Amino acid sequence: MRKNIVAGNWKMNTTVPEGVALAHAVEAAVFAAPELKCEVIVGVPFTHLTAVKNVISKVKLAAENCADHKSGAYTGEVSAAMVASTGAEYVILGHSERRGYYNETIEMLKEKVDLALSNGLKVIFCCGESLDERKAGTHFDVIKNEIEGSLFHLNAEEFAKIVIAYEPIWAIGTGETATAEQAQEIHAFIRGLLAGKYGTQVADDTTILYGGSCKPSNAAELFAKPDIDGGLIGGASLKAEDFMGIVTAF
Ligand code: PGA
């Protein structure tokens, strides 16, 4: 059985002390919560990983990116091995902000995925279409290309370390959520793609998250859909109370 996950993506927000306080508040709330039906992850800036790791135990840690090279003369980059050495379990890869602002290509993401897995990290792999692509009706193709191009070289054992996050770009930070039906349609499509490549068992076992203006008020409706296994949360992960409102929506 696949697991439900709610993961925060803090993006470029909070100083280290602010981030530690936020992580501490989330950990305390998770600890106090009766029986959570999901794994809780915080995705934090590189600078915060070690300090945040020190204040969490039930809550899992993710980085928001890693380099597409193993090591060496890449000034300013942070390798998958470095991320893993902080105690992080996950890395978020392929976020649309990285693809869009930092020109991350399908090929680069394939390298990043391989380096993450070979360093023992699990990957939260983001995919999703822009508004223009949705209007043009190419959203299924966009998602198929992103997933096939960066992930389908993996074998089934490697693929078991992948969490998919469907994030329609038009819903990220805009307040405009995909309807639960729109999200479910894509999630079912993604699960079908995975079944075609890896078989139904692997497809059924893969966690597929929704991301894009997910908040306490809409999380329950989204998570009630059969193929939506949780969320990747941006803005609403920056306040422990809002984030916990989503975590407890299952
Ligand atoms: P949002 O961001 O929740 O602020 O829309 C989601 C994401 O980009 O992961």
Q: Is 167 in the pocket of ligand 1 (CB under 6 A)?
A: yes
The SS3 call for residue 214 is: coil
Known active-site residue 153: no
Q: d(Cα 169, Cα 166) in Å, to the nearest integer? A: 9
> Measured in angstroms, how far is the CA atom of residue 202 from the centroid of ligand 1?
27
Of 124, 221, 131, 215, residue with least CA distance to 168: 131
Question: Within the chain, which residues score under 70 in pLDDT?
Answer: none
227 lines ligand 1 (CB under 6 A): no
The alpha-helical segments, DSSP class H, found in the chain are 16-32, 49-53, 80-85, 96-101, 106-118, 131-135, 139-151, 156-159, 180-198, 200-205, 216-223, 240-247
Closest by Cα among 210, 196, 180, 209 to 144: 196
Most ligand 1 atoms within 8 A of CB, residue of 64, 127, 172 to mutate: 172
Which pTM does this prediction carry?
A: 0.98
100 Cβ inside 6 Å of ligand 1: no
Determine the distance separating the centroid of ligand 1 and the alpha carbon of 212, expressed in angstroms: 5
Is the CB of 43 inside a 6 Å radius of any atom of ligand 1? no
> For position 175, what pLDDT does the model report?
87
pLDDT at 34: 80
Q: Which of 12, 96, 233 to mutate to test the pocket of ligand 1 (most atoms within 8 A of CB)?
A: 233
3-state secondary structure of 85: helix
Question: Which pLDDT value is given to residue 144?
Answer: 98
Indicate whether residue 172 lines ligand 1 (CB < 6 A).
yes
| 125: enclosing H helix or E strand | strand 122-127
pLDDT at site 177? 86
Rounded CA separation 212/233 (Å): 7
| Local structure of residue 238 (DSSP, 8 states) | S
Q: Report which of 161, 154, 99 is spatially closest to residue 126, judged by C-alpha positions.
A: 99
Told to judge if 176 belongs to the known catalytic residues of this protein, a careful annotator would answer no
Closest by CA to 210, choosing from 232, 186, 239, 240, is: 232
Query: 92-114 pLDDT, tens per residue?
Result: 999 999 999 999 999 999 999 99
> What pLDDT, on the 0 to 100 scale, is given for residue 213?
95
